[in-house]
């Protein structure tokens, strides 16, 4: 087994990480792997909710909003 290092982890965070692993009787490597998998799953779930979830405005409202923002940008010299 090869030892790896993680930069920029303060002592308090490292102590908390070790204590959570110890409380659950999990090796640090397995605990870290679980955290990474959980983060990946939560990130995917977050984007699924944004991309495929309930729409907050209708297609027509979105078109009007785009037209309005485009005209405001042109009027005040922002991106064209």
- 11: which residues sit within 8 A by CB, 6+ positions away? none
- Radius of gyration from C-alpha coordinates of the chain: 23
Evaluate whether residue 51 is within a structural domain.
yes
CA distance 19 to 2: 22
pLDDT of 80 > 60? The answer is: no
Tens of pLDDT, residue by residue over 26-79, are 999 999 999 999 999 999 999 999 999 998 999 999 999 999 999 999 888 876
Query: Which residues span the domain enclosing 67?
Result: 26-75
Question: What would the two tokens of residue 23 be?
Answer: 């409380």
Evaluate whether residue 66 is within a structural domain.
yes
**What letter would DSSP give residue 47?**
H
Question: What would the two tokens of residue 2 be?
Answer: 């090869």
Evaluate whether residue 13 is within a structural domain.
no
State how many domains the chain has: 1
């Amino acid at each position: 087994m090869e030892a790896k290092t993680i930069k920029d982890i303060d002592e308090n965070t490292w102590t908390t990480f070790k204590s959570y692993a110890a409380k659950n009787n999990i090796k640090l490597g397995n605990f870290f792997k679980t955290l990474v998998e959980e983060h990946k799953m939560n990130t995917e779930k977050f984007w699924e909710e944004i991309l495929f979830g309930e729409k907050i405005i209708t297609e027509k409202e979105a078109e009007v909003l785009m037209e309005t923002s485009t005209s405001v940008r042109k009027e005040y010299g922002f991106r064209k």
